[in-house]
């Protein structure tokens, strides 16, 4: 199904209500389970235990850095250990017979239990998330809701990633000709969905061209990659985790001034600071109606911090009187 950008832009307002928040990064969804046994109960038990272990290993990869896993010789999570760390589970699409069980499970893990498990393995857990993105899954320049690429994003579970990505339903889908993908059009889409970041993921047949756009700061980055949504998500997550690791390795503590015009702007700035991969810790020292003093611990690379916060709509400047100053883009 293909429709034009102008037709659906007003129509989509019907289907979007409010601003969605990033989903829990300790939840793994869309795990297909299938097993056979001598009884229905045995088949279900085997299927669920295997699915729980696979979910735990997906989470292990999500929350850790590959190079550290390899250097520490991290072993896969066993079925028994996975079962000990689960706090909740949902089952969908169940089918069963006298000897077979099928379904799809979503598993939520206990953060403290996962952290303890990773600590015993000598692995650093990274669980802070970037801000929400909306994905525009294009196929050769336009959205086709019947394409495998669009369906793959619907079922990707990307909302639970460390770089959470919100997929559109078929009813919400926008079909955007490539010529319509200018910044103003993206800002209008972002306003409708309540996001300040859009990932344009164009399947060009054999490879994907991805453009990540921060709508408030107007910064963008591009990369090409082979594979499905999981490959795109993995690329974004790995970049995010590497930035987090650099913070822990060379953290520097400095005072900063935060400038804002309203309480809502202050809340937006706090969210950007608290969600930064570069900022390891932030302490509020003083607060007034139009400014705050904070002490932050960051990765030591001011250029990297400035670039990351720019993607979140925050300017970082140095002032002779105030020192390092943070404010919403356009404040200065």
Same domain flag for 139 and 213? yes
Same domain flag for 206 and 278? no
Give the residue-averaged pLDDT of 300-305: 85
Name beta bridge partners: 317. Answer: 325
- The CATH number of residue 258's host domain is 3.30.70
Same domain flag for 135 and 241? yes
The CA distance from 163 to 132, in Å, is 7
**158-168 pLDDT per residue, tens:** 999 999 999 98
Tokens standing for residue 104: 């799809």
The CA distance from 7 to 210, in Å, is 25
Give the residue-averaged pLDDT of 51-69: 96
Same domain flag for 18 and 104? no
Same domain flag for 139 and 19? yes
Give the residue-averaged pLDDT of 235-260: 84
The pLDDT confidence band at residue 217, using thresholds 50, 70 and 90, is confident
Same domain flag for 19 and 152? yes
The answer, yes or no, to whether residue 208 has pLDDT greater than 90, is yes
Closest CA to 19 of 191, 234, 203, 163: 191
Same domain flag for 158 and 237? yes
CA 263 to chain centre: 26
Same domain flag for 141 and 209? yes
Same domain flag for 10 and 135? yes
The answer, yes or no, to whether residue 266 has pLDDT greater than 90, is yes
Q: Which residue has the higher pLDDT, 215 or 275?
A: 215
The total number of structural domains in the chain stands at: 3
- Judge whether 160 and 154 are in contact, CB under 8 Å: no
- The CATH number of residue 36's host domain is 3.10.28
Which residue among 208, 229, 245 closes a domain?
A: 245
Average confidence score pLDDT of the chain:
87
The answer, yes or no, to whether residue 113 has pLDDT greater than 80, is yes
Beta-strand pair 133-139/165-166: parallel
* pLDDT (0 to 100) of residue 275: 81
* pLDDT (0 to 100) of residue 300: 80
Same domain flag for 12 and 154? yes
The answer, yes or no, to whether residue 96 has pLDDT greater than 90, is yes
Tokens standing for residue 329: 């883009």
Own/partner pairs for 118-125, CB < 8 Å, 24+ apart? Answer: 118/60, 118/63, 118/64, 121/72, 121/74, 121/75, 122/72, 123/60, 123/64, 123/68, 123/69, 123/72, 123/74, 124/64, 124/65, 124/68, 124/245, 124/248, 125/63, 125/64
Is the pTM higher than 0.85? no
Same domain flag for 147 and 275? no
* pLDDT (0 to 100) of residue 249: 62
Give the structural domain span for 68.
27-120
Same domain flag for 185 and 267? no
Which residue among 245, 278, 309 closes a domain?
A: 245
Measured at the alpha carbon of residue 265, what is the angle toward residues 301 and 319, in degrees to the nearest 5? Answer: 45
> Can you tell me whether residue 278 is helix, strand or coil?
coil
CA 228 to chain centre: 16
């Amino acid at each position: 199904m293909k429709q034009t950008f102008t037709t659906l832009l007003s129509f989509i307002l019907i289907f979007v209500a409010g601003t969605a928040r990033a989903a829990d990064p300790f939840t793994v969804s869309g795990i297909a389970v299938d097993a056979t046994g001598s009884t229905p109960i045995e088949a279900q038990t085997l299927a669920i235990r295997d699915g729980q272990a696979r979910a735990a290993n997906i989470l292990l990869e999500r929350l850790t850095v590959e190079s550290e896993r390899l250097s520490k010789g991290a072993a896969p999570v066993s079925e028994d250990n996975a079962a000990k760390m689960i706090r909740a589970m949902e089952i969908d699409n169940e089918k069963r017979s006298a000897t077979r069980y099928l379904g799809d499970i979503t598993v939520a893990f206990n953060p403290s239990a996962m952290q303890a498990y990773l600590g015993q393995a000598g692995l650093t857990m990274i669980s802070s998330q970037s801000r929400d993105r909306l994905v525009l899954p294009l196929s050769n320049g336009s959205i086709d809701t019947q394409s495998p690429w669009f369906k793959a994003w619907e079922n990707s579970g990307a909302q639970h990633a460390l770089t959470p990505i919100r997929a559109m339903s078929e009813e919400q889908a926008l079909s955007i000709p490539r010529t319509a993908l200018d910044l103003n059009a993206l800002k209008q889409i972002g306003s409708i969905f309540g996001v300040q970041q859009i990932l344009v993921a164009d399947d060009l047949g054999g490879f994907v061209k991805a453009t990540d756009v921060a709508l408030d700061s107007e910064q963008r980055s591009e990369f090409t990659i082979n594979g499905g949504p999981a490959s795109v998500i993995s690329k974004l997550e790995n970049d995010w985790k590497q930035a987090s690791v650099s913070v822990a390795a060379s953290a520097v503590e400095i005072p900063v001034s935060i400038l804002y015009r309203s309480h809502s702007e202050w809340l937006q700035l706090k969210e950007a600071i608290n969600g930064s991969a570069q900022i390891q810790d932030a302490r509020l020292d003083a607060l007034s109606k139009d400014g705050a003093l904070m002490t932050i611990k960051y990765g030591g690379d001011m250029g990297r911090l400035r670039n990351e916060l720019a993607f979140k709509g925050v300017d970082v400047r140095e002032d002779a009187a105030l020192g390092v100053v943070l404010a919403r883009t356009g404040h200065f």
